[in-house]
Amino acid sequence: MTTDALRGETLASIDAAQTPEALEAVRVAALGKSGSISQLMKGLGGLAPDERLKVAPVYQALREEVSAALEAKKTELGKAALSARLASERQDLSLPSSPLLSGTVHPISQVMDELSEIFADLGFAVAEGPEIESDWHNFTALNIPPEHPARAMHDTFYATPAEGGERMVLRTHTSPVQIRTMMAGKPPFRIIAPGRVYRSDSDATHTPMFHQVEGLVIDRGIHLGHLKWTLETFVKAFFEVDDVTLRLRPSFFPFTEPSVEVDVGCSWEGGTLKVGGTSSWLEILGSGMVHPKVIANCGLDPNEWQGFAFGCGIDRLAMLKYGMTDLRAFFDADLRWLKHFGFASLDVPTLSAGVGA
């Protein structure tokens, strides 16, 4: 059989193969140990040098062409088999899911929904902002001076400066959202700003990335009494306890004046800390009246507009409410932990039915 005839017959056989098994049979017949093309290649050694130089390139080209045709056909058959499999393995999405495959809502997501539900009932909107912030929004606008320890490299993750030289940071709190809100609109403002924040710290109660929620109210005639009532209402709704006592201790934050740390009354029951009573106290958040310089930095007149702000860690709220002891487990992606502490997808927080599970 001539080379051209062998080429035509082999390519025709490849084209006619309809299954991977049939294609493999063609490959063995052509390129196997005893295959027709393999026999041609083995016969080169018995040819005269001049004859070998003449026919060797032809045989080699034939082998490469057949190999390429086999690979192309194999790919074609594979795609056809996949398409047939996808068409035959349709899943009825209306069927109930298997309990073994059901997912859960992460406690952080659940607590964020609870916070949004509570503050929405109080007339607060949810505001968001970028996680990579300018030094001005994250520090300067909030009346944090250049020498403040919060700006130190061991506390803050600094990013590459933006065009023009402005230093960028992974935001250390969600307070920049308050600045952006005040600069973008006209008062009055009532917002909460939940989101991820970043600080260089890691142990059982600290992680380099964690979640924080801050609240801001800007209006005329706002005073510390409004702050205390808002926090009491929030704590009662979140922990679902009517017997709640708050203690406000004087403190200092650059962005509020006066500033107060807020403690909630607690009690120990069976080795577990419970919110309610006054036998013990637990610090839960920092707050205060928005500093006049911060209001002025946002283009507002502090003589006309006053307000209060507060902030707390969402992760710690979840730990306190749902009895978790190690913050690092929140980010381990352990399915056993998620199954134990997670929430069903239909456990939607409502004030009427209870925000907790």
Is residue 176 within 8 A of residue 129, CB to CB? The reply is yes
**Of 55-64, 119-128, 140-149, 160-169, the least confident:** 160-169
Average pLDDT, the chain: 86
Instruction: Of 42-56, 97-111, 142-156, 342-356, give the range with the top mean pLDDT.
Output: 42-56
Whole-angstrom distance, CA of residue 96 vs CA of residue 187: 48
**Alpha-carbon radius of gyration of the chain:** 35
Name the pairing type of β-strands 280-290 and 306-313.
antiparallel
pLDDT at position 334 is 82
How many CB atoms lie under 10 A from the CB of residue 4?
10
**Length of the chain as a residue count:** 357
DSSP symbols for 294-347: HHHHTT--TTT-EEEEEEEEHHHHHHHHHT---GGGGGS--HHHHHHH-B-TT-
Instruction: Return the structure tokens found at 348.
Output: 């939607």
Identify which of 355, 350, 352, 332 has the alpha carbon closest to the alpha carbon of residue 106.
Answer: 332
The pLDDT, as a whole number, for residue 100 is 54
The two tokens of residue 98 are 């298997």
Q: How many CB atoms lie within 10 A of CB 207?
A: 17
Which positions ≥6 away from 330 have C-beta within 8 Å? 106, 107, 108, 207, 315, 318, 324
d(CA 344, CA 357) in angstroms, rounded, equals 9
pLDDT, one tens digit per residue, over 287-313 is 999 999 999 999 999 999 999 999 999
Global confidence as pTM: 0.66
Is 80 exceeded by the pLDDT of residue 341?
yes
261 forms bridges with which residues in the sheet?
Answer: 249, 286
Rounded Cα distance, 271 and 275, in Å: 13
CA max distance for the chain: 108
